[in-house]
Chains A and B, each alone.
Chain A
């Protein structure tokens, strides 16, 4: 057993995240938490509940919905909003809705319109000046250089060369007119930390992270789950029941599953540790524009 005075790495990470959440609430005018219902969002929400307990977190949850998330995600989203006592705002880009933008027919436009545009529209509509996001620096190279308080221009662009220095745990939350801030309270967490924390704190997560028999088809080297009857089967395709789980959750037609038998959290962590591919590998979005795909997307206003 360690000397009681030396905090463990998870205790230090938790304390840092809570500190960030409280700073934003104290200094921003109208904060919001972007809630994507994934495991990182789950941890971020849990940290917010800890930060402000016994008060409920003093900001709403915003789900920028694409209408193509897994059904199990919508279930957990509604449940967590109820349990946390927070207001849940769901935003769907009306133009994407009208044009019936979907991941099968529209490729990259799907992410662009529902997520990137949808997010900008939602932030403008409600006038939020600070938005919490669950991104981590270990996910991707351009994230590794992003500040915890990351400023966006009025058109939501990110200028990686013009970031404010962040010293100690002093955050400068002062904005110029029209600017807004993306704040990443779990910047310094790794994927393993997230799992470990979920395990230790019994943080509720979407059951899709655990293996179960689910209807799947294999397409372009990805294992996709047929979550509802909007999934257009190609000639000869027939859903096959496989024991699968997801390492990351997004729009179901864009999210690759892995075959797995891991039905408990320790088993999931075990698989994660022994695996040899990175987490975002299951997502199509990073590969769009070569090595600098995500950086480019962020400059355009993707979270």
Chain B
């Protein structure tokens, strides 16, 4: 098949045949290493993984037969077996000859079990590599010996380092194609060393290999007598895994589920993130800060005397303290911090760009909260590591930004604790996972800025005015009639001695929001500010009327969340686009159609009508005055 015959990884067939019990005993005590392979399109990643599977006998006869027939049909290696075909799973990518997603592969040797995340090398797939790397203990960075350190090599190394992988292997592949030349290898290693240092990679292991021919994969190759080892497999079998280092850190366990089968049992279930726990240990529940001690570690196989990082357990406490999903149980005298404002690295993973100011779900451990992100401090060019100014983040962009959450969360810096420092962001409307992030630290602001309690309460403000505060939030297309109707509503309320204030879109943009334009990101910020102002005015006891296009559902929902229950009335001024455009009071539609006005709602920027507004006003069916009358009647029955 090839001219280098690789030694099989297993010498154990004999043991399996002679003494299966002894073999099982060994296998039972194996540890597990998860790693990723990264490289450019033609660096031979899939071939290397195919080789590892083949050499560790994870390929069966029937799969091999299928592989041989596939190799002839679509293979790129002529008559030889194309190992890549074994790995490239999905039909679409087999046709294109590339890997397009994260695939997980399994093999084991005498010492360890391995899970390999195969991640693609294309520029547009940063998100896949970050995904694969997030669970990895080690990264194998593949380099084509003929090409040396490429832009992609730098990018993959940066990403692996960013996600916190400490063990990096530089596998200089295709050594067979450069005549196993030591000088070529040394030059590449020297080149890479300089780069690695510049991005903070302290150490890496370099090795010359050929995935295709099998050199230095399982055993040292006679073709590279100048290389002293280790072979790739030897190295993978001996490096330290993450869970081993996690066990030495202070105890933390995010609570997943409260186990309450009957009144006599109350246990808290979770996966231990770091440290270890024993019955009798003093623990603190965060964010409440209540303390108790552990009485039992309950499992189906009997109570445990100790549990360590990486185990899923159920803990019972000596005291009946409040503890539920989202809380974190921690060592009593060394608990993690609690905060609501952070600096974080964000990897954007969605086609729709990040919108600073928009509310996203943030999931960290078992906590899910609402978070808003500020404009990035900078974006990182993943090819040059330069910091660039950025207003937002696009698909596959990586940046650093401040973010704030609507409640305090229990956290630790990502560098100390992946579980309490790594998070995902979820779009509230599409439910898609749009970003991954890593918390750096809390902003001291959060610790030092306290809510100032005032003696004259919001209820008192409202009582003085003899009214219930409210926000009448008008939304609709430009020219729908929002300002006209809002103005009439305010006049009617004033006549009824109600204390009101009208916030108008155009007027606000002359002052408070004059720094904002009409991009999606600016529209979100516009609405956020107006929402905050409206909220302060309701605290002052006012009835606030707002007239803004406010085209996005998520921002209107965000404002709704800011207000006290029952005080937010969303009023959809529902005028069909054709009708609004026909009226064109301000002549804006004409300009937009002529291309003189960009990002105009209804023309080249979307309007998302409310699903379930408190009121819907059909302006084609009633006059502005009738509409205002109806709205006032709804507010003050």
Query: Could you list which residues of chain A lie within 8 angstroms of chain B, going by C-beta atoms?
Result: 1-16, 18-19, 22-23, 25-26, 49-56, 137-138, 141-142, 144-145, 160-161, 163-170, 172, 174-176, 187-188, 190, 192-193, 196, 199-200, 266-267, 269-270, 273-278, 281, 291-292, 295-296
Instruction: Return 5 A-B CB contacts under 8 Å, by A number.
Output: A26-B366, A142-B90, A168-B135, A192-B108, A277-B60
The list of the 4 closest CB pairs from A to B, nearest first, reads: A141-B89, A9-B32, A292-B91, A18-B312
Closest chain-A Cβ to B68's Cβ sits at a distance in Å of 13
Chain B residues with Cβ below 8 Å from A170 are 363-365, 422-424
Bound complex: CA A11 to CA B128 (Å): 27
Bound complex: CA A174 to CA B424 (Å): 13
Decide: A7 and B311 in contact? CB cutoff 8 A.
yes
Decide: B243 and A6 in contact? CB cutoff 8 A.
yes
Decide: A8 and B31 in contact? CB cutoff 8 A.
yes
Decide: A166 and B131 in contact? CB cutoff 8 A.
yes
16 more A-B residue pairs beyond the given contacts A22-B269, A54-B298, A55-B260, with a C-beta to C-beta distance below 8 A: A7-B311, A8-B28, A50-B299, A51-B312, A53-B314, A137-B106, A138-B106, A141-B90, A145-B101, A167-B130, A167-B131, A172-B363, A175-B431, A190-B106, A193-B113, A296-B91
Q: Is the interface of B mostly helix, strand, loop or mixed?
A: mixed
Query: Could you list which residues of chain B lie within 8 angstroms of chain A, going by C-beta atoms?
Result: 13, 16-17, 20-21, 23-24, 27-32, 58, 60-63, 66, 70, 89-92, 94, 100-106, 108, 112-113, 115, 127-128, 130-131, 134-135, 241, 243-244, 247-248, 256-257, 259-261, 265, 267, 269-271, 276, 298-301, 306, 308-312, 314, 325, 349, 361, 363-366, 418-419, 422-424, 426, 430-433, 436
B432 to chain A: closest residue by CB? A164
Closest chain-A Cβ to B394's Cβ sits at a distance in Å of 16
Q: Taking A7-B243, A168-B419, A278-B62 as contacts, is the C-beta distance between A2 and B104 under 8 angstroms?
A: no
Q: Which of A25, A52, A142, A188 contacts B106 (CB 8 A)?
A: A188
Q: Taking A144-B104, A168-B135 as contacts, is the C-beta distance between A160 and B90 under 8 angstroms?
A: yes
Bound complex: CA A168 to CA B117 (Å): 13
Decide: B16 and A275 in contact? CB cutoff 8 A.
no
Decide: B62 and A281 in contact? CB cutoff 8 A.
yes
Chain A residues with Cβ below 8 Å from B32 are 8-9, 12-13
Decide: A7 and B127 in contact? CB cutoff 8 A.
no
Decide: A269 and B312 in contact? CB cutoff 8 A.
no
Q: Taking A8-B31, A137-B106 as contacts, is the C-beta distance between A172 and B134 under 8 angstroms?
A: no
Decide: A274 and B89 in contact? CB cutoff 8 A.
no
Decide: B29 and A2 in contact? CB cutoff 8 A.
yes
Chain B residues with Cβ below 8 Å from A266 are 20-21, 24
Q: Which of A2, A5, A172, A193 contacts B247 (CB 8 A)?
A: A5
Bound complex: CA A276 to CA B349 (Å): 41
Q: Which of B60, B113, B365, B426 contacts A174 (CB 8 A)?
A: B426
Task: Name the residue in A16, A199, A296 with the highest tally of chain B Cβ atoms < 10 Å from its Cβ.
Answer: A16
Q: Which of A8, A23, A52 contacts B259 (CB 8 A)?
A: A52
Chain A residues with Cβ below 8 Å from B102 are 145
Q: Which of A190, A196, A278, A295 contacts B60 (CB 8 A)?
A: A278
Bound complex: CA A5 to CA B430 (Å): 41
Chain B residues with Cβ below 8 Å from A19 are 256, 271, 312
Closest chain-B Cβ to A67's Cβ sits at a distance in Å of 29
Bound complex: CA A281 to CA B247 (Å): 41
Closest chain-A Cβ to B397's Cβ sits at a distance in Å of 15
Bound complex: CA A170 to CA B241 (Å): 20
Bound complex: CA A142 to CA B349 (Å): 22
B241 to chain A: closest residue by CB? A6
Decide: A174 and B94 in contact? CB cutoff 8 A.
no
Closest chain-A Cβ to B364's Cβ sits at a distance in Å of 8
B272 to chain A: closest residue by CB? A15
Bound complex: CA A281 to CA B64 (Å): 12
Decide: B257 and A25 in contact? CB cutoff 8 A.
yes
Closest chain-A Cβ to B102's Cβ sits at a distance in Å of 7
Chain A residues with Cβ below 8 Å from B418 are 168
Chain B residues with Cβ below 8 Å from A199 are 24
Chain A residues with Cβ below 8 Å from B28 are 8, 10, 196, 200
Closest chain-B Cβ to A162's Cβ sits at a distance in Å of 9
Chain B residues with Cβ below 8 Å from A6 are 31, 241, 243-244, 247
Q: Which of B23, B91, B135, B299 contacts A291 (CB 8 A)?
A: B91
Bound complex: CA A187 to CA B106 (Å): 11
Chain B residues with Cβ below 8 Å from A273 are 13, 16, 23
Chain A residues with Cβ below 8 Å from B433 are 164-167, 172
Q: Taking A164-B433, A196-B27, A291-B70 as contacts, is the C-beta distance between A22 and B256 under 8 angstroms?
A: yes
Chain A residues with Cβ below 8 Å from B270 are 22
Closest chain-B Cβ to A7's Cβ sits at a distance in Å of 5
Chain A residues with Cβ below 8 Å from B299 are 50, 53
Chain A residues with Cβ below 8 Å from B243 are 6-7, 12
